[in-house]
Amino acid sequence: MSDTDDALDLDMAAAMLQSNATDVHIMLKVLAGQLSEVLGPRVVVDRVGGRFRKSGEVKALEVTLGDDVMRAEVEGASVRCSVAHSSGGIRIRSEAVDLDSWLKRLLSALQQEAAHSEGARQALERIVIGGSS
């Protein structure tokens, strides 16, 4: 598969994620569930609610893949996304990105890791084709 094919696949997957879950809250909840199952502690989900009463609604989703930490945080009806890059455990840069770029970078990082990790491959398959694999 060429780089162009990979880019098109990631664009299609990101578009499909957004079209299948036009509500950002639903999309983040689905992503959190799918990624948490296979990536375990590399996924941190902050849920809406107090200390003792948490709802199923996702307030923030943070995914660590390689040296990158990708965070999406709900602010009303919109989402604030960022990608932080670390080297040797030290954060060297962090940039704000739009939701579309964040999704593409998340999928790209999963795709790179899928070449070496069964868990990442499963997460990518679940996101792209849905359901259980």
The proportion of the chain whose per-residue pLDDT surpasses 70, expressed as a percent, equals: 74
State the first-to-last Cα distance of the chain, in angstroms, to the nearest integer.
22
Given this model, what pLDDT does residue 50 score?
A: 61
pLDDT above 60 (res 11) = no
C-alpha span between 48 and 95 (Å, rounded)? 25
Dihedral sign for Cα 66, 56, 28, 92, please.
Answer: negative
**80-133: per-residue pLDDT in tens?**
999 999 888 888 999 999 988 998 898 888 888 777 777 777 777 777 666 544
Q: At what angle do helices 99-114 and 118-129 cross, to 10 degrees?
A: 140
Given this model, what pLDDT does residue 5 score?
A: 43
